[in-house]
Structure 1
């Protein structure tokens, strides 16, 4: 499988690139800053310098053509203002989806966040509110498309070691945290699991092996909003 990851220098993207190349997939990781190329290459992925905020659909379609799947893992990042939440977290996803359609790529996996799909709580910080709104709009845009999309909403992200134990289910799950390494593992499984297409899934730490949780996403319990917990 050839996979293109937008936001290839992000922490989850770096972990995902290493997992995918380790299982024999070909990975192109899009990065804005050429200084990040060596770190991306160390994962086995091929760094491709590409600026999502200042490029056209046709330019991106030329980059992603002939791939089997695309992953939107880009984000404006800490320290950015509200405006960039819309240009990156929403605009970047829309651009990638437009490019996927133009290039004839059906598989699209989007990293979102728990909290998307709901209005921010009253008194929420302006930047955080913009982030949630941008992610919500990006999700809504993707769901409206004729693509084989999967949306993954992880909880609070931790830089801890992988546990290979998660709780995965249709919204809403109780809010919780999850290791970035476990998010990457879930994404790697999702990309190879066609049954997850057209599913919005939330992910937190739990007791179920990642592969089992992904396998259970077509079960009745998950379809009705339950957690994918396998005994």
Structure 2
């Protein structure tokens, strides 16, 4: 099995992906600004790397330390951060991966990115439109690279168990939520499929529920 490297691994969706692949028996490497703040990350990973992805030299140093057969997944995001990582961090990462010839790359963004912007409500555009636009720029940079990429745009992320009912779609309007653990399962499914290379998917789950409801 290829080693799995997760960027943005210390919390949220990144941590859910780390835990999923670790439990599935993969060697997992976590990359985060501060891995030490997450005992769960340290427990699930064979190794961790500290990286501020807005620093090009740090990104290049971490990429150069990765196994040559690694599959790389990124969930990096920085809602309302002073220096957003969504575009510039992914630009540095994509360029470094290409330079090292680490070709399999999986980028997780969100509904509303790219050609799905037209389906985003005005309220959503006002609330987190800037972050979506940054992620859309990252998608465009990736799509013009030589990497063997897959892009996944999940709906609203909530905690909960895998349901195995998450739905993948392409090119249609979708809305909804999905458990982080279910997104992790779909990432694995798509990584295992050669047909997913060069493709963009959305995912939501009609069986997902918000905790406490």
The verdict on a shared fold, with TM-score over 0.5 as the criterion, is: yes
Using the size of structure 2 for normalisation, the TM-score is 0.85
Q: CA deviation at 1:194?
A: 2.0
C-alpha distance after superposition, 1:50-71 (max 9, x if no partner):
2112242532331334242111
Distance 2:101 2:22 in 1: 23
Consecutive unaligned residues in structure 2, runs of 5 or more: 208-213
Runs of 4+, deviation exceeding 3 Å: 119-127
Q: 1:34, CA displacement in angstroms?
A: 4.1
> Any idea what SS the aligned residue of 1:84 has?
coil
Partner Cα distance (1:40, 1:195) in 2:
30
TM-align CA RMSD: 2.2
TM-score (normalizing by structure 1): 0.79
Alignment of 1:47-196 (within 5 A): 47-56=48-57, 58-77=60-79, 80-81=80-81, 83-85=82-84, 88-117=85-114, 118=117, 128-196=128-196
Q: Deviations over 1:162-218 (max 9, x none)?
A: 2111111112232111111100111122222222101100000047xxxxxxxxxxx
CA apart distance, 1:101 = 0.5
Give the secondary-structure state (helix, strand or coil) at the position aligned to 1:74: coil
Residue in 1 that maps onto 2:211: none
How many residue pairs align between the two structures? 202
* CA distance, structure 1, for counterparts of residue 177 and residue 152 of structure 2: 14
Task: Decide whether aligned partners of structure 1 residues 109 and 32 sit closer, same or farther in structure 2, where only a CA change above 3 A counts.
Answer: same
Indicate how the Cα distance of structure 1 residues 172 and 64 shifts in structure 2: closer, same or farther if over 3 A, else same. Answer: farther
User: Hey, what does 1:5 align to over in structure 2?
Assistant: 6
Change (3 A) 1:41 1:73: same
Q: Secondary structure at the match of 2:202?
A: strand
Contact 2:14 2:75 in 1 (8 A): yes
